[in-house]
A and B are shown apart, each in its own frame.
Chain A
């Protein structure tokens, strides 16, 4: 059923795209002189229908894109196929005391700016097509003697029927420039040899096709242990994401129920106490906690003082006279999840409190009148409601935890693994994929492999999330609690 739904979605998507092109064809074929002129000067059609301001604005936009295309794009897009060929060469000039160098290529800038150009052009193309359709619609409206919006009315419309465009425009622009373009760049990097030996601006990198993926899956990649490290890291990433999401979610709900219980004295004070832990920036609190649990840290001193260390040592659980909270596999995994509960539960409590307060009162009231026990109310009203409202957030939390950099990095950046196979691939037991990628890019400048791994991770997450998410927010459930 899900598959059918997705297929239907894809079909309707292409159907509507096809429809757009059909309308565009009609507009070109049946448009009058000014509509046809709009193909060259985009505002012409509006000016003909007395939408002067709009016409001018549209034409200015067109001019802007043309200027962009002529002045900016060619220097990069023309080299997109090779990612540059001219290596930097410099000669010191004694007279000027400066280096003189050739007009060298920077592969990364070529890649980045070409993509920016492509995105601008794609957006403009879509705009162009819709513009033609809209100009033609104007022509039809004029012919049928319908009302043609004035500029003021257009703006009114953007605040009413088309308010979503006003709302979404800026956020979407931000996402395009700061998420989509960088993402596309990094996807393309996976098909190049951008690594320590090919780092712009000093040297060039170029396209290498699927080599990186073949290396990743066929062994012989970075090191022979790369595939092994990948599987290990992926497994821990999923385990971590599952447990960290589940524990903080449940912990948050329980804590919020505990605080909002009628038996609680001074609920506001308790809430504030827990919230204070959020107020301390994570890097401060986590680094502090790291020193707290260090092998020679204060908690170990404490355990030694009360004799716990000795007991564990005598029981053969630990091999040194300190408890390796953050330095030994197993211990560190449990500790990370526990510390994450400490970090995450107050956040979840905050959300849960907000949501619980919004449970429709009459539902609770009628349940109470019907004689339901608090436990029943929790199971049959509170929990389903929570799940419904926070279900999507649960999925995003899971994804956020897959990419949870701070907790892992701050707690274990000095962790040294004793697993040689992992070490040979610059990984360690506590690494999530994202921290591993961070090491690969920051310390080893291995952008191509990091990108290839990133894409693989991305595909895994995408499949999981889309399935889970479409279950959580199926359209029919969206209206359930209104």
Chain B
């Protein structure tokens, strides 16, 4: 009768469901997985002398543009450890800026080792995606011949700060290039011109060109507040603390007035987030605030006049204040759910060690976070990285929660569109208060 078809298919479905239950449960219970592999890993404990070496399969994610250089590093990693383990590494593509989204969808399916931008660290730690590196100290000492403390001291302290959460190191610093500074055309602007916003805008106006900056992003516009002594922070419950509506060296209102004076200048161009390279290419700019990723675009636009320096000073309540910035880093983390956490950590360490940071600079012009690698002449000669290093004295490690971004972007956009009047302090204060309310809203 009618049930025949229904029945056979039902059967197929239930059978396949039942059939795959053991595999899915063993995926999630590490205990079985670990004991199952005990036989081939026991060799390690006998040290390198034992004849049998473990087979280790690792996966790694890195940025699209870095694939070639990463493959070189992986090959040397495998070569370096070939006496103690038979390692294969599969390299995949995952942009550092979106790594968090992909990883948090399914941590268990994420790569063993992945590169990510330092602002994602708090979320990744809270979700339990990152392996504590401190816990692996012994393994790194045994195989890489250095301690976690060595790693921390080899990299610039702000990069270690960005990789640390609750006093635990959660990732290896890979590069110190995720910050912003000023590109300018030295044919048009002199060194005095780029020292302050006032001179900069006047000179640009005289040349009939513009100065571009992204205001509609809490990453860029916070620089004005950081410069005036304001702070942001991350609380234990995941909420963000922010004091932009209060008083530091100056009042928040005064900072906003300074920003409005800049954005209201006809030589200022508010650029949409991520659109700076297009603006460089369009030829309307003589200077623009961006990071190393736009070095090529700036170089092409300015040609011989290509130059970069720290951010200019701006005028707050009659004083010249150095504009601050965000010190961002690229980090390499180890998946807490990795089947081979120890080997994964060794790979992460390998691709972030001094030689490989130097190699990364050589091939991709990415600024090293390693102190020795950064000290080389070649790095110092790189215009963009030198400017970034110069700005780093005023850089702040920005640890904020998720609720930070939308309200601050909107606030920046309001300033960019000139929707606030410079002398309307009440409205400015209200806008600041609203922004702070949004940023500090509980994470639920």
- Stretch with Cβ within 8 A of A (4 or more), from B299-307, B357-365, B366-374, B413-421: B413-421
Contacts of A99 in B (CB 8 A): 30, 34, 131, 336, 338, 341
Cα A91 to Cα B160 with chains together (Å):
24
A sample of 27 cross-chain residue pairs with beta-carbon separation below 8 angstroms, ordered by A number, consists of: A57-B4, A57-B8, A61-B10, A68-B14, A72-B18, A97-B44, A98-B37, A104-B28, A154-B4, A157-B1, A158-B2, A162-B1, A162-B2, A169-B6, A199-B128, A201-B337, A223-B437, A223-B441, A294-B272, A420-B410, A420-B431, A420-B438, A423-B409, A424-B407, A424-B437, A424-B438, A443-B101
Contacts of A416 in B (CB 8 A): 216, 272-273, 409-410, 412-413
Asked whether A202 lies within 8 Å of B434 as measured between CB atoms, the reply is no
Given the interface pairs A61-B11, A68-B18, the reply to whether A98 lies near B406 with Cβ below 8 Å is: no
Asked whether A199 lies within 8 Å of B42 as measured between CB atoms, the reply is no
- Which residues, 160 to 206 on A, are CB-close (under 8 Å) to B? 162, 165-166, 169-170, 173, 177, 195-197, 199, 201-203
Cα A101 to Cα B5 with chains together (Å):
44
Q: Does residue A366 face the partner (Cβ distance < 8 Å to B)?
A: no
Contacts of B282 in A (CB 8 A): 296
Given the interface pairs A64-B15, A169-B6, A296-B278, the reply to whether A92 lies near B337 with Cβ below 8 Å is: no
- Which residues, 100 to 122 on A, are CB-close (under 8 Å) to B? 100-104, 106, 109, 116, 120
Given the interface pairs A97-B343, A199-B104, A418-B413, the reply to whether A165 lies near B441 with Cβ below 8 Å is: no
Beta-carbon nearest neighbor of A88 in chain B: B128
Asked whether A423 lies within 8 Å of B30 as measured between CB atoms, the reply is no
Closest CB in chain B relative to A177 CB, distance in Å? 8
Q: Does residue A421 face the partner (Cβ distance < 8 Å to B)?
A: yes
Beta-carbon nearest neighbor of A223 in chain B: B441
- Which residues, 22 to 75 on A, are CB-close (under 8 Å) to B? 54, 57-58, 60-61, 64-65, 67-68, 71-72, 75
Asked whether A445 lies within 8 Å of B104 as measured between CB atoms, the reply is yes
Asked whether B3 lies within 8 Å of A54 as measured between CB atoms, the reply is yes
* Chain B residues touching A, majority SS: helix
Closest CB in chain B relative to A463 CB, distance in Å? 29
Cα A446 to Cα B444 with chains together (Å):
7
Contacts of A295 in B (CB 8 A): 272
Known contacts A94-B138, A223-B437, then 20 further A-B pairs from the complex at CB < 8 Å, ordered by chain A residue: A64-B11, A64-B15, A88-B128, A95-B45, A96-B44, A98-B341, A99-B336, A100-B30, A120-B14, A154-B4, A165-B5, A177-B13, A196-B123, A196-B238, A202-B126, A223-B441, A416-B273, A418-B413, A420-B435, A423-B409
Beta-carbon nearest neighbor of B401 in chain A: A196
Contacts of A101 in B (CB 8 A): 30-31
Asked whether A423 lies within 8 Å of B275 as measured between CB atoms, the reply is no
Contacts of B9 in A (CB 8 A): 169-170, 173
Residues 39-71 of B, flagged 1 when their CB comes within 8 A of A and 0 if not, give 001101100000000101000000000000000
Selected contact of B407 from candidates A124, A201, A202, A423, CB within 8 Å = A423
Residues 18-44 of B, flagged 1 when their CB comes within 8 A of A and 0 if not, give 100100010011110010011001101
Asked whether B434 lies within 8 Å of A420 as measured between CB atoms, the reply is yes
Closest CB in chain B relative to A417 CB, distance in Å? 5
Beta-carbon nearest neighbor of A202 in chain B: B128
Selected contact of B411 from candidates A58, A134, A420, CB within 8 Å = A420
Beta-carbon nearest neighbor of A134 in chain B: B1
Contacts of B15 in A (CB 8 A): 64
Asked whether A58 lies within 8 Å of B128 as measured between CB atoms, the reply is no
Closest CB in chain B relative to A218 CB, distance in Å? 14
Asked whether B3 lies within 8 Å of A72 as measured between CB atoms, the reply is no
A interface, CB within 8 angstroms of B: 54, 57-58, 60-61, 64-65, 67-68, 71-72, 75, 88, 90, 92-104, 106, 109, 116, 120, 123-124, 127, 130-131, 134, 149, 151, 154-155, 157-158, 162, 165-166, 169-170, 173, 177, 195-197, 199, 201-203, 215, 221-225, 294-296, 319-320, 327, 414, 416-424, 426, 442-446, 449
B interface, CB within 8 angstroms of A: 1-11, 13-15, 17-18, 21, 25, 28-31, 34, 37-38, 41-42, 44-45, 54, 56, 101, 104, 107-108, 123, 126-129, 131, 135-136, 138-139, 142, 216, 237-238, 272-275, 278-279, 282, 336-343, 402, 406-407, 409-414, 417-419, 431, 434-435, 437-438, 441, 443-444
Given the interface pairs A72-B17, A426-B406, the reply to whether A414 lies near B273 with Cβ below 8 Å is: yes
Q: Which of B9, B14, B25, B279 has the most CB of A within 10 A?
A: B14
Cα A84 to Cα B435 with chains together (Å):
38
Contacts of B441 in A (CB 8 A): 222-223, 424
Cα A325 to Cα B275 with chains together (Å):
16
Cα A154 to Cα B435 with chains together (Å):
70
Pairs A-B, 5 closest by C-beta atoms:
A202-B128, A97-B342, A424-B438, A423-B410, A72-B21
Closest CB in chain B relative to A414 CB, distance in Å? 6
Cα A419 to Cα B28 with chains together (Å):
44
Beta-carbon nearest neighbor of B138 in chain A: A94
Contacts of A424 in B (CB 8 A): 406-407, 434, 437-438, 441
Asked whether A442 lies within 8 Å of B101 as measured between CB atoms, the reply is yes
Closest CB in chain A relative to B97 CB, distance in Å? 13
Beta-carbon nearest neighbor of A170 in chain B: B9
Asked whether B42 lies within 8 Å of A95 as measured between CB atoms, the reply is yes
Given the interface pairs A201-B128, A295-B272, A445-B104, the reply to whether A120 lies near B341 with Cβ below 8 Å is: no
Asked whether B419 lies within 8 Å of A197 as measured between CB atoms, the reply is no
Given the interface pairs A223-B438, A420-B407, A424-B406, the reply to whether A98 lies near B18 with Cβ below 8 Å is: no
Asked whether A414 lies within 8 Å of B274 as measured between CB atoms, the reply is yes
Selected contact of B7 from candidates A57, A95, A97, A100, CB within 8 Å = A57
Beta-carbon nearest neighbor of A427 in chain B: B406
Asked whether B402 lies within 8 Å of A196 as measured between CB atoms, the reply is yes
Cα A176 to Cα B210 with chains together (Å):
59
Given the interface pairs A57-B11, A90-B30, A196-B238, the reply to whether A96 lies near B273 with Cβ below 8 Å is: no
Cα A92 to Cα B139 with chains together (Å):
9
Asked whether A158 lies within 8 Å of B407 as measured between CB atoms, the reply is no
Given the interface pairs A68-B17, A88-B128, the reply to whether A418 lies near B417 with Cβ below 8 Å is: yes
Asked whether A419 lies within 8 Å of B128 as measured between CB atoms, the reply is no
Asked whether A64 lies within 8 Å of B10 as measured between CB atoms, the reply is yes
Cα A102 to Cα B128 with chains together (Å):
15
Given the interface pairs A101-B31, A123-B10, the reply to whether A418 lies near B419 with Cβ below 8 Å is: yes
Closest CB in chain A relative to B301 CB, distance in Å? 14
Cα A217 to Cα B195 with chains together (Å):
52
Cα A67 to Cα B14 with chains together (Å):
9
Contacts of A61 in B (CB 8 A): 7, 10-11, 14
Selected contact of B342 from candidates A98, A103, A443, CB within 8 Å = A98
Contacts of B127 in A (CB 8 A): 196, 199, 202-203
Cα A218 to Cα B356 with chains together (Å):
55
Selected contact of A149 from candidates B1, B45, B129, CB within 8 Å = B1
Asked whether A60 lies within 8 Å of B4 as measured between CB atoms, the reply is no
Cα A423 to Cα B217 with chains together (Å):
12
Q: Which of B42, B419, B438 has the most CB of A within 10 A?
A: B438
Beta-carbon nearest neighbor of B108 in chain A: A201
Closest CB in chain B relative to A131 CB, distance in Å? 7
Asked whether A154 lies within 8 Å of B2 as measured between CB atoms, the reply is yes
Cα A98 to Cα B336 with chains together (Å):
10
